[in-house]
Homo-oligomer: A and B are copies of this chain.
């Protein structure tokens, strides 16, 4: 496969500017059985998140007497990618589940629920680069929908380097052919970015580039954060209307 030109006339393949997100749609409370849930579309990514808990943890010897255990399962549907994938966790899913779990370990007030489990399940129905970020963004809303106390909202996005240029929220071609990819998540509290909760990178960048990446990511997450907040607002307004 020949690498296509990814930047043409200062625009990206899908016509976006370098610092432009793909279209995003967020809806809270989309599942009945789960305690909290959220559906997100980020470009072609279509992702569901559900939260169950706090609930009893079995077997008992896994319980932590001082806090809740957070579990996170990132899973891709067999039909979510070009080539049908065999169901079940692969190494990539296991790693994403681990680092995403750690995001929420830092953010959930887990000391309030000793001996219990809080389960976060993310199902990727369609994937197109950035599904881990989409999952985290949805999970963050689902947690609030479930009424679980958190220190703030977590918002995630990736920044890539393609054809020497830093671009926000890369889609599949940019991820695949790009020189570097950096997914990141921030804790946002009272509308302000407070700290980094997820950080990974692969590719090749200078220290200077990385600093610019972080700035670009911060711009991106603030936009996503507003959409997360809106989704939560819409949900609670509906409830008040109904109440």
B58 near A58: Cβ-Cβ < 8 Å: no
Tell yes or no: A23 within 8 A of B by CB: no
A61 near B58: Cβ-Cβ < 8 Å: yes
Tell yes or no: A59 within 8 A of B by CB: yes
A221 to B103, CA, bound (A): 56
B-contact bits for A55-77, CB 8 A (1 contact / 0 none):
00011010000000000000000
Query: Which residues of chain B are near A59, meaning CB under 8 Å?
Result: 59, 61
Q: In the complex, what's the smallest C-beta–C-beta distance from A33 to chain B, in angstroms?
A: 22
Query: Which residues of chain B are near A58, meaning CB under 8 Å?
Result: 61
Q: In the complex, what's the smallest C-beta–C-beta distance from A63 to chain B, in angstroms?
A: 13
A58 to B62, CA, bound (A): 11
Q: In the complex, what's the smallest C-beta–C-beta distance from A46 to chain B, in angstroms?
A: 28
Q: Within A25-62, which residues are at the interface with B (CB < 8 Å)?
A: 58-59, 61
Q: Within A59-99, which residues are at the interface with B (CB < 8 Å)?
A: 59, 61
For residue A58, which residue of chain B has the nearest CB?
B61
Which 3 A-B pairs have CB atoms at the shortest separation, nearest pair first?
A: A58-B61, A59-B61, A59-B59
A-B contact pairs, 3 of them (CB 8 A): A58-B61, A59-B59, A59-B61
